[in-house]
Amino acid sequence: MSQEDDAFAEPRREMIEAIKASVRDSASYTGRDRLSDRVIEAMATVPRHAFVPPEQRHVAYRNTPLPIDAGQTISQPLIVALMTDLLEPQPDDIILEVGTGSGYQAAVLSELVKQVYSIEIIESLAGQARKVLAERGYANVTVRAGDGYAGWPEHAPFDGIVVTAAPEEIPPPLLQQLKPGGKLVIPVGEEHGYQELLVLEIDGDGAVSHRSVLPVRFVPLTGDR
Ligand code: SAM
Mean pLDDT of the chain: 95
Report the pLDDT averaged over residues 23-35.
91
pLDDT of residue 52: 98
Interstrand relation of 158-163 and 94-98 (parallel, antiparallel or unpaired): parallel
Residue 78, number of CB atoms within 10 A of its CB = 22
171 Cβ inside 6 Å of ligand 1 = no
For the stretch 67-120, pLDDT in tens is 999 999 999 999 999 999 999 999 999 999 999 999 999 999 999 999 999 999
Cα–Cα distance between 76 and 15 in angstroms, integer? Answer: 11
Catalytic residue among 75, 102, 110, 118: 75
CA of 223 to the centre of ligand 1 (A): 11
CA of 73 to the centre of ligand 1 (A): 8
Cis peptide upstream of residue 167 (ω within 30 degrees of 0): no
Q: Which of 79, 109, 120 to mutate to test ligand 1, by most ligand atoms within 8 A of the CB atom? A: 120
pLDDT of residue 217: 93
pLDDT of residue 1: 59
Query: 88 with 116: CB under 8 angstroms?
Result: no
Cα–Cα distance between 158 and 175 in angstroms, integer? Answer: 10
Query: 86 with 199: CB under 8 angstroms?
Result: yes
For the stretch 139-191, pLDDT in tens is 999 999 999 999 999 999 999 999 999 999 999 999 999 999 999 999 999 99
CA of 39 to the centre of ligand 1 (A): 21
Query: 178 with 157: CB under 8 angstroms?
Result: yes
110 Cβ inside 6 Å of ligand 1 = no
pLDDT of residue 29: 83
Report the pLDDT averaged over residues 110-131.
98
With the C-alpha atoms ordered 103, 104, 107, 113, is the resulting torsion angle positive or negative? negative
pLDDT at residue 5 tops 80 = no
Q: Which of 164, 185, 216, 218 to mutate to test ligand 1, by most ligand atoms within 8 A of the CB atom? A: 164
pLDDT of residue 175: 95
**3-state DSSP call for residue 84?**
helix
Report the pLDDT averaged over residues 24-32.
89
pLDDT at residue 3 tops 90 = no
pLDDT of residue 194: 94
User: Is 75 considered catalytic here?
Assistant: yes
pLDDT at residue 224 tops 90 = no
